[in-house]
Structure formats: structure tokens, C-alpha cells
Amino acid sequence: MTNSQIFVTGATGFIGRHLVPILLDKGYEVVAICRNETTARRFAWSERVKVISCDYHRDALPLKPRPGSTLVHLAWQGLPNYSAPFHIEENLPRNYEFIKSMLEAGVSKVLVTGTCFEYGMKFGPIAPETPTDPVNAYAAAKDKLHKSLVELQKFQPFVLQWARLFYMYGPGQNPNSLIAQLDAAIERGDPVFNMSGGEQLRDYLPVEEVARQLALICAAGVNGTFNVCSGKPISVRRLVEERIREKNASIRLNLGYYPYPEHEPFAFWGSTAGIP
């Protein structure tokens, strides 16, 4: 148990809403940073945290971190539009300046979520030390942010933990994501679900497990780059079929309706090496 202060951006987002209660149970004093306090107050954990409504792209944080505190930086605007140039033109500099300002204010450890897309068009399994080669603006901005923070460590000592997220699903996910669309189709009673051929291999985790792994990385307190993943490939078709069985549904798959995405390798998954 610990009483360390920890700031969480994106606290009400897909991952944040699951991570915050884990951190609370571990004894952290959590400061939840979000753009809408009303949204935060919908969660049961909100009574146990300090909620700060702040757009860190524009506003100064209205609270000074205690020396030695931690920043868990989950927030990133404009997803799932991966190719838009604002990731590089706006998100990259503003996220860098925000993290730097938090370090200057007293934070000594930073955990930032990156993306498996930083690896580019590589086939799995992919280890955390694999050289990056991003092919979309979102991944390029994340990769540049990571490298910029590594350079910053040469002038300002701090612990940097870079956690590359693979695929995930669960409560709070984007309604346009695969499993969310499938669940909605089942709920509506649709007879058919249109999808790609489904033979591509991916690495999927329930969001609750993603949050658990992030909490473990944070607690370890060591520098490093990590893959937040299962380490096991699964075909998209099998993932969907398992979800249909789990829901006890009879919806039929219309395989091949959509082409395979061009911005992703056909088969890639992560290596869990280094996860505490």
C-alpha cells in the first residue's frame, strides 16, 4: 500500500475509468484530470478522488503536484482518426509541453500510453525493444513524443514508462470499434454482421486486464518500454465467433464484406516481456 499522489489524465476515458479504481485500491491518492467534471461524477470512484476539470491543451493545471508524485498520461485527442495531421501539429507539442510542465512542477515519474502502431508494418510477435517505424500520423506523433521524453531525461532526471497498447475491448469502448459494433448488432437483433474476412491475427485484451497491467507497470517504478498485450495471437474471426457464443446469439457473419485494413500488418501481436 502507498499514499503517493498520482495524477491520471483521461480518467473518465475507456482505460482511465477502469484504472482509477485499481490505483485507489492500491492506496494511491488519485487526482483525476478530465475535461468534464460532470462525466467524472457518474463514476462511483469519483467520491474517493480529487477531480480536476481541465483541458491541458489550453489550461494550466490548477493544482501543484507534490514533489515525487506520479503522472499517468492516458489522454490523447482526436481518435480514432489515425491519419489526421493534427496529431503531429497539435497533439505532439501540447502533450510534450504538458508533461514537461508537470515534471517542472514536481512530478518524478511519468507513465504514458503509446500504441502498437508505433511498430509500423511489422509481423508478430513484436518485442518492446523492436525499432519503431510508424506509418500513420497518430503513431508518428506518439513515437516522437516518446523519443522527445527520452531526450528530456538527459537534462531532467525522471522515471519514464512507455506502455504501448495493443487491441482492447470492454465497457466504455468506442461504439465504432469491432466488438462494440457486434454487441450493438446482437442487441438490435440483426440477422447478419458484416465484417472483413477475419483471418488477420491480432492481440486483444479485455480493458480490465489492460488497466491491471498498467497498474503493475506503474507500481514497479522502473524506466522502460512495455507492451500491454496478451502475447497470444487470435484471428479476428475467432474473436468475433467467441463473442457471439458468449452472448448466446445466432447472428450470422458476412465475411469479406469489408476489405482488410491497409494501415495494419496482416498478422501482429506483442511480446509481454518486461511486464512486472
Domain count, the chain: 1
Calpha distance 230→166 (Å, rounded):
9
* 104's grid cell: 517542472
Q: In this structure, is residue 269 part of a structural domain?
A: no
The CATH code of the domain that includes 20 is 3.40.50.720
Q: Which H or E run includes 207?
A: helix 207-220
Q: Look at residue 31 and tell me whether its pLDDT is greater than 60.
A: yes
Q: What is the mean pLDDT of the chain?
A: 93
Nearest to 159 by CA among 114, 107, 113: 107
Report the pLDDT value the prediction gives residue 191, as an integer from 0 to 100. Answer: 96
Report the pLDDT value the prediction gives residue 158, as an integer from 0 to 100. Answer: 97
Judge if the upstream peptide bond of residue 65 is cis by omega within 30 degrees of 0.
no
Structural domain containing residue 91: 5-168+203-228
Q: In this structure, is residue 270 part of a structural domain?
A: no
Q: In this structure, is residue 183 part of a structural domain?
A: no
Calpha distance 46→51 (Å, rounded):
7
Number of Cβ atoms within 10 Å of the Cβ of 200: 17
Q: In this structure, is residue 215 part of a structural domain?
A: yes
Q: In this structure, is residue 265 part of a structural domain?
A: no
pLDDT, tens digit, 9 for 90 and up, residues 187-231 = 999 999 999 999 999 999 999 999 999 999 999 989 999 999 999
What pTM was estimated for this model as a whole? 0.93
Q: In this structure, is residue 246 part of a structural domain?
A: no
Radius of gyration of the chain (CA): 19
Q: In this structure, is residue 82 part of a structural domain?
A: yes
Nearest to 195 by CA among 183, 178, 207, 209: 178
pLDDT, tens digit, 9 for 90 and up, residues 162-194 = 999 999 999 988 898 999 999 999 999 999 999
Q: Look at residue 126 and tell me whether its pLDDT is greater than 70.
A: yes
pLDDT, tens digit, 9 for 90 and up, residues 48-69 = 999 998 888 888 888 789 999 9
The edge-to-edge listing of strands for the beta sheet with 159-165 is 50-53, 29-34, 5-9, 69-73, 107-115, 159-165, 224-228
Q: How many CA atoms lie within 13 A of 96 on its CB side?
A: 20
Q: In this structure, is residue 156 part of a structural domain?
A: yes
Q: Look at residue 2 and tell me whether its pLDDT is greater than 60.
A: no
Dihedral sign (CA 228, 76, 218, 3): negative
